Amino acid sequence: QVQLVESGGGVVQPGRSLRLSCAASGFTFSSSAMHWVRQAPGKGLEWMTVISNDGNYENYADSVKDRFTISRDNSENTLYLQVNSLRAEDTAIYYCARGTNNWWYFDLWGRGTLVTVSS
């Protein structure tokens, strides 16, 4: 079954860190660029970061640059997002999504993992 399954969310205090995971199955993970997109409660989608299929290139939205790090393990078919120095405004559902051949549209999404930043 072709799917993405996120995990690692939860309630975390401001200033702390989390590592989110996205397990891929049913397709050749190592052939796809991957993205993280988040959605604050009741708000719209926000693109955050992309990583190339081989992990050698990554880029970030200005809003998360220097605090978030994307990575992947193609041997484990898993995508990661390290989120540091969390702030209340980082509270959101975090989705991983598969980029297509040209990277810039997403044909497969996970169900998301909720991160709540609260003291």
Partner 1 sequence: QSALTQPPSASGSPGQSVTISCTGTSSDVGGYNYVSWYQQHPGKAPKLMIYEVNKRPSGVPDRFSGSKSANTASLTVSGLQAEDEADYYCGSYAGSSNLVFGGGTKLTVL
Q: If you write DSSP's letter for every residue of 71-116 in order, what string do you get?
A: EEETTTTEEEEEE-S--GGG-EEEEEEEE-TTSSSEEEE---EEEE
Distance CA 45, CA 77 (A): 25
One residue of 25, 59, 82, 85 binding partner 1 per CB under 8 A:
59
- Interface with partner 1 by CB under 8 A: which range of 15-23, 69-77, 82-90, 101-109? 101-109
Stretch 8-37: interaction string toward partner 1, x if CB under 8 A: ---------------------------x-x
Cβ 113 to partner 1 shortest distance, Å: 11
Which CB, 11 or 104, lies closer to partner 1? 104
Cα 86 from Cα 108, distance rounded (Å): 27
Dmax over CA atoms of the chain, in Å, equals 42
- DSSP 8-state symbol, 56: S
Using the minimum distance from each CB to partner 1, give the nearer residue, 13 or 69.
Answer: 69
What does the binding site for partner 1 look like in residue numbers (CB under 8 A)? 35, 37, 44-47, 50, 57, 59, 61-63, 95, 100, 102, 104-107, 109-112
